């Protein structure tokens, strides 16, 4: 059974907005990234999966439950972290979290204290008085308190300082080890690179690619910097080189091709020093965005 | 019904409940406490009443009974103020109980819990009518105690019961209208103006209808027309009117539920 499966899922608002024919298959236990620029349809997809908005076409299941007809059952198994947090201003965090666990069966209320300590959240403070980051901490806690099988995270780190982001990623890694499936929507690619096994790219409401992150990085070009012996500069770069920039005996270029050919070429040239870098995921995905 | 949500709704609405309860209690006590002074001036006021055109008197709910007994005096104010005030409270609470979550965007939190929209709707309606019933019950008890203290001579509790039962049906009807209007206007809307206009407006339509034969037809569009909230001993509780109003209220709630189930929660 898949954690998430969408078949031609669509939500149309007039001509251009919404999502069209979204097809996703997320395996159980996987950390799946969902990337796209702002307004691409990430939140619309998530809100449709959660039953907050009704699909105009297609269908979807979460952990085997239909999103339209079995919403109650599937929401028992989901933890959702929204990108913007809107809670009841008159409550404090403790009241909000106790209210939240009241909707689920057999939740240990001691978990609230434990997680609040971990994220350094003052439970007694009114929600209206919390900063955006602290509201986000409260939202993280409510998302994991009932030990969901699937976590749906929409721009989860916005508002968190770097220390809390690290704690949050520690928590996600722990949840991942316990077998929780994580659906991670973000436009911050380094987060996707850090956490996810696979990722889908959404653009203008349509899925433009689904890729294995490691494969994607392997397939892609390398950034190469070479320093030659000044007496033996080899200006014939290997096949697959592009954007070369010479500076005396140094050259910077991008290489796309089999790594063995590059090594063999370096072996034949009198190379003094070499630096090879992977381009970051951002550069790779910019290609998808631009297409 | 979801117990967790039900309790939270009662708690969330308690402040507003007590503010409105103190207004209505204050008004009830004011009416009852001025009666002894007014009845002392009974003859003079009856003479004054004769000066007022009967149409105006009827429209204001005043007649020769107004000054003759505590219940008569109380009934003059019951329809136009107390029922209308309680209705404004319950209808505005009804208008806000679901739409407030959308306006404050807390509906995202609520609707991602494992509860169906139908359960959310009926639980909130149950909390709303619990508040309505408690409010109405407390005001009825206060009025009953007050009337028995200021009344001289015999008190017709049958008429009091009929008046209050009629008032309760009207309050329930307006409560349902409040819920319905919140479904058809943007959640940013403040419903208080609409609710005040509707309750007072329909009261005065009925009052105008009662003042002359020529305007009688106007009354048919006012729910007040179908419920008897005066102390006229020739009138009885209108069971058919009550059944129709309650049925219409239930239909309005079902329409509101269907609209709630269909709507998209904006992000």
Distance CA B210, CA B225 (A): 9
Are B265 and A53 in contact (CB < 8 Å)? yes
Residues of chain A positioned with their CB less than 8 A from the CB of B265 = 47, 52-53
Please report the pLDDT score of residue B16 as a whole number: 95
Nearest chain A Cα to B15, which residue?
A: A90
Are B111 and A52 in contact (CB < 8 Å)? yes
Average pLDDT of the residues of chain B: 88
Q: Report residue B229's pLDDT band, with 50, 70 and 90 as the boundaries.
A: confident
A38 by Cβ neighbours in 10 Å (0-12 / 13-18 / 19+) ranks as exposed
Q: What is the pLDDT of residues B45-88, one digit of tens each?
A: 667 767 777 666 666 666 666 666 888 889 888 988 899 999 99
Nearest-neighbour CA in chain B from A285: distance (Å): 26
Please report the pLDDT score of residue A1 as a whole number: 86
Find the CB nearest B108 among A54, A86, A102. A86
Please report the pLDDT score of residue B181 as a whole number: 92
Measured from the Cβ of residue B266, the count of other Cβ atoms closer than 10 Å reads 12
Give the least confident one: A3-7, B32-36, B39-43, B261-265.
Answer: B39-43
CB contact, 8 Å: B113 with chain A?
yes
Residues of chain A positioned with their CB less than 8 A from the CB of B262 = 54
Are A102 and B106 in contact (CB < 8 Å)? no
Find the CB nearest A75 among B4, B114, B262. B114
Please report the pLDDT score of residue A65 as a whole number: 96
Residues of chain B positioned with their CB less than 8 A from the CB of A52 = 107-108, 111-112, 264-265, 267
Average pLDDT rounded to a whole number, residues B204-208: 86
Residue B125 belongs to some domain of the structure = yes
Residues of chain A positioned with their CB less than 8 A from the CB of B112 = 50-52, 75, 78, 80
Q: Note whether A91 and A130 are within 8 A (CB).
A: no
Q: Note whether B115 and B121 are within 8 A (CB).
A: no
Q: What is the pLDDT of residues B166-185, one digit of tens each?
A: 999 999 999 999 999 999 88
Can you tell me the ipTM of this complex?
0.87
| Residue ranges for chain A with pLDDT beneath 70 | 15-16, 216-220, 279-291
The residue extents of the domains of chain A are 4-216, 221-290
Are A52 and B108 in contact (CB < 8 Å)? yes
Residues of chain A positioned with their CB less than 8 A from the CB of B121 = none
Nearest-neighbour CA in chain A from B225: distance (Å): 41
Domain A221-290 is of which CATH architecture?
2-Layer Sandwich (3.30)
Nearest-neighbour CA in chain B from A28: distance (Å): 21
Nearest chain A Cα to B104, which residue?
A: A86
Nearest-neighbour CA in chain A from B267: distance (Å): 8
Please report the pLDDT score of residue B65 as a whole number: 63
How many A×B Cβ pairs under 8 Å? Answer: 63
Domain A4-216 is of which CATH architecture?
3-Layer(aba) Sandwich (3.40)
Please report the pLDDT score of residue B185 as a whole number: 83
Residues of chain A positioned with their CB less than 8 A from the CB of B12 = 88, 90
Are A99 and B4 in contact (CB < 8 Å)? yes
Nearest chain B Cα to A54, which residue?
A: B264
Residues of chain B positioned with their CB less than 8 A from the CB of A103 = 2, 4-5, 113-115
Q: What is the pLDDT of residues A187-220, one digit of tens each?
A: 887 788 888 989 998 888 999 888 888 776 666 6
Residue B23 belongs to some domain of the structure = yes
Please report the pLDDT score of residue A285 as a whole number: 65
Q: Is the per-residue pLDDT at B144 higher than 90?
A: yes
Nearest chain A Cα to B1, which residue?
A: A103
Distances (CA, A) of A68 to A9, A50, B23, B113, B262: 12, 9, 45, 15, 11
Average pLDDT rounded to a whole number, residues B120-124: 97
Please report the pLDDT score of residue A280 as a whole number: 64
Q: Is the per-residue pLDDT at B94 higher than 70?
A: yes
User: DSSP assignment of chain B, as one string?
Assistant: --HHHHHHHHHHTHHHHHHHHHHHHHHHHHHHHHHHHHHHTHHHHHHHHHHS-HHHHHHTT--TTTTTSHHHHHHHHIIIIIIHHHHHHHHHHHHHHHHHHHHTT-HHHHHTSS--HHHHHHHHHHHHHHHHHHHHHHHHHHHHHHHHHH--S---HHHHHHHHHHHHHHHHHHHHHHHHHHHHS-TT---HHHHHHHHHHHHHHHHHHHH-STTGGGGGGSGGGGS--S--TT----HHHHHHHHHHHHHHHHHHHHHHHH-----
Q: How many domains does chain B have?
A: 1
Please report the pLDDT score of residue A72 as a whole number: 95
- Residue B34's domain comprises 3-262
Measured from the Cβ of residue B118, the count of other Cβ atoms closer than 10 Å reads 13
CB contact, 8 Å: B8 with chain A?
yes
């Amino acid at each position: 059974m898949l954690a998430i499966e969408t078949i031609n899922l669509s939500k149309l608002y007039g001509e251009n907005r919404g999502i069209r024919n979204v097809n996703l298959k997320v395996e159980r236990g996987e950390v799946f990234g969902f990337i796209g620029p702002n307004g691409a349809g990430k939140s619309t997809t998530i809100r449709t999966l959660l039953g907050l908005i009704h699909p105009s076409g297609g269908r979807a299941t979460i952990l085997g439950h239909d999103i339209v007809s079995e919403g109650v059952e599937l929401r028992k198994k989901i933890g959702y972290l929204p990108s913007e947090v809107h809670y009841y201003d008159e409550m404090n965090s403790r009241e909000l979290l106790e209210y939240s666990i009241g909707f689920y069966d057999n939740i240990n209320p001691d978990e609230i204290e434990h997680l609040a300590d971990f994220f350094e959240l003052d439970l007694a403070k009114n929600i209206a008085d919390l900063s955006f980051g602290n509201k986000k901490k409260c939202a993280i806690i409510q998302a994991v308190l009932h030990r969901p099988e699937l976590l749906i995270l929409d721009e989860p780190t916005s508002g968190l300082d770097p220390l809390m982001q690290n704690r949050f990623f520690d928590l996600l890694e722990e949840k991942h080890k316990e077998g929780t499936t994580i659906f991670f929507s973000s436009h911050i690619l380094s987060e996707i690179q850090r956490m996810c096994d696979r990722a889908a790219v959404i653009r203008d409401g349509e899925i433009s690619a689904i890729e294995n992150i490691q494969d994607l990085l392997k397939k892609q070009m390398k950034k190469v910097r070479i320093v030659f012996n000044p007496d033996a500069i080899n200006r014939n770069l290997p096949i697959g080189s592009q954007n070369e920039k010479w500076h005396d005996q140094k050259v910077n270029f991008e290489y796309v091709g089999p790594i063995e050919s590059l090594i063999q070429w370096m072996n034949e040239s009198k190379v003094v020093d070499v630096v090879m870098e992977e381009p970051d995921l951002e550069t790779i995905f910019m290609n998808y965005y631009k297409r | 019904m979801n117990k967790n949500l039900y309790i939270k709704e009662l708690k969330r609405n308690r402040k507003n409940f007590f503010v409105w309860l103190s207004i209505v209690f204050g008004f009830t006590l004011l009416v009852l406490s001025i009666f002894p002074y007014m009845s002392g001036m009974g003859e003079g006021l009856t003479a004054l009443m004769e000066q007022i055109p009967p149409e105006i008197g009827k429209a204001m709910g005043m007649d020769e009974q107004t000054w003759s007994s505590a219940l008569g005096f109380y009934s003059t104010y019951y329809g136009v103020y107390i029922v209308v005030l309680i209705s404004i409270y319950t209808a505005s609470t009804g208008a806000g109980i679901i739409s407030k979550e959308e306006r404050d965007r807390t509906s995202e939190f609520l609707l991602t819990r494992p509860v169906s929209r139908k359960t959310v709707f009926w639980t909130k309606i149950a909390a709303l009518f619990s508040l309505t019933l408690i409010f109405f019950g407390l005001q009825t008890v206060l009025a009953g105690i007050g009337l028995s203290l200021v009344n001289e001579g015999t008190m017709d509790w049958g008429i009091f019961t009929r008046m209050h039962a009629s008032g309760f049906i009207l309050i329930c009807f307006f409560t349902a209208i409040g819920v319905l209007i919140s479904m058809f206007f943007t959640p940013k809307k403040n419903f208080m103006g609409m609710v005040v206009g509707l309750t007072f407006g329909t009261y005065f339509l009925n009052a105008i209808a009662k003042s002359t034969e020529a305007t009688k037809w106007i009354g048919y569009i006012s729910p007040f027309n179908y419920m008897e909230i005066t102390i006229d001993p020739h009138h009885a509780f209108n069971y058919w009117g009550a059944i129709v109003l309650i049925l219409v209220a239930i239909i309005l709630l079902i329409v509101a539920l269907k609209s709630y189930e269909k709507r998209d929660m904006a992000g």
